[in-house]
Structure 1
């Protein structure tokens, strides 16, 4: 993919490019993750060179970055799978981030990670990356896009609500979660709460399975 567009914040226009990331981008992508996912997010879950090499080798179409005025400001990574909505963990479905179980004929494009540099938030870059992955789903003729969404906003309510109650309030629009609500605004639909999905203290190790169906397929 090589996509050029403009985004705006107030009256300022930014020149944006979405493209497949390459080996020369690895150092920047790793630093980007450190900025986007500070502690208590586990440092061993951040990308390393071997994982990034696997992404661009096994499924380059699912390895995208977004640059603002030439500076990489975010990334999104995916794999293909034929999973049938069964309960799973991030480690299981992504092979611990190495996507060794990537299925070239998979009917589902599964999001492994999405990451935006905090310095560039507010420009709608996450939505543009998600839109690019929707386009990838259509281009490859896949049935849908899926992925487990963190619920970091739960940390503010953990003394008031169970994780199940928090999930229900977020998907019903009573509360706003930084990630789940963003993904709903970007077109993803929540399907179910998955416990013990990922080591993530803020989300109580839970995630929301969220999907987007290819509108061109019956």
Structure 2
């Protein structure tokens, strides 16, 4: 009899209202610098996410503890690579602009508890999003990825130069490299994306295209 690995013991399921207090604490643990700036999901926002699009809100559970979460909504960007901020894409944080008839799943966030980051939590959450996009026949998934180490290099190079060096593995940037490994491609830099001292508010516009998308449906 095979013994299940710790990674396989991580369960992904949809978020429910009773999860909210634990998800708020997860956010604070996952993004301490941003949390100190007041940038994390509040209970009223998470309640709104579940109300408007319950299928798009996921949590990762390990031994009855929530160790990861991600929030998503459906939108349409016109033009498709339109420059935007996190706040505008997320409908003022409440997903007010969620559009069931849209063509794009927007990844609002991914949280992974720092004490459990070797369990493949983020990959499992990304896979759940991909499965949802395929199920709903959405054309793609897009998101803004924080450049978490850019502040260390800002005096030496521009954000686009930084991304180019990351892609060449000359600079370690865990978020972008993870996204590339998960088949997302870099489109362009998004300035003033969100209040984040580590990235100096810069983010990458990333995209994953649904290989099973059927535009005739």
TM-score (norm 2): 0.91
Q: 1:150, 1:99 → 2: CA distance?
A: 20
Residue 198 to residue 42, structure 1, CA distance change in 2 (3 Å): farther
Q: Which has the higher contact order (CA 8 A, sep 6+)?
A: 2
Compute the RMSD of aligned alpha carbons. Answer: 1.7
Structure 2 SS opposite 1:97: helix
Larger strand percent: 1
* 2:48 paired with 1:35: no
Which residue of structure 2 lines up, in the alignment, with residue 50 of structure 1? 44
Which residue of structure 2 lines up, in the alignment, with residue 121 of structure 1? 117
* 2:140 paired with 1:144: yes
Structure 1 SS opposite 2:118: coil
Which residue of structure 2 lines up, in the alignment, with residue 75 of structure 1? 69
Q: Would you say the 8 A contact 2:139–2:209 is kept in 1?
A: yes
Pairwise CA distance, 1:153: 1.5
Residue 40 to residue 93, structure 1, CA distance change in 2 (3 Å): closer
One of 86, 89, 92 as aligned partner of 1:90: 86
One of 173, 184, 188 as aligned partner of 2:184: 188
Gaps of 5+ in 1: 1-5
* 2:161 paired with 1:159: no
Q: How many pairs does the alignment contain? A: 210
Q: Would you say the 8 A contact 1:14–1:68 is kept in 2?
A: no
Structure 2 SS opposite 1:152: coil
Gaps of 5+ in 2: none
TM-score (norm 1): 0.90
Equivalences for 1:172-183 in 2 at 5 Å? 172-183=168-179
Q: 1:110, 1:161 → 2: CA distance?
A: 29
Q: Would you say the 8 A contact 1:80–1:107 is kept in 2?
A: yes
Q: 1:38, 1:18 → 2: CA distance?
A: 24
Q: 1:115, 1:46 → 2: CA distance?
A: 10
After superposing on structure 2, the runs of 4+ consecutive aligned residues of structure 1 that deviate more than 4 Å are none
Deviation by residue 1:94-153 (Cα, 9 ceiling, x = unmatched): 023111011011100000110001110111110110011000000000000000000112
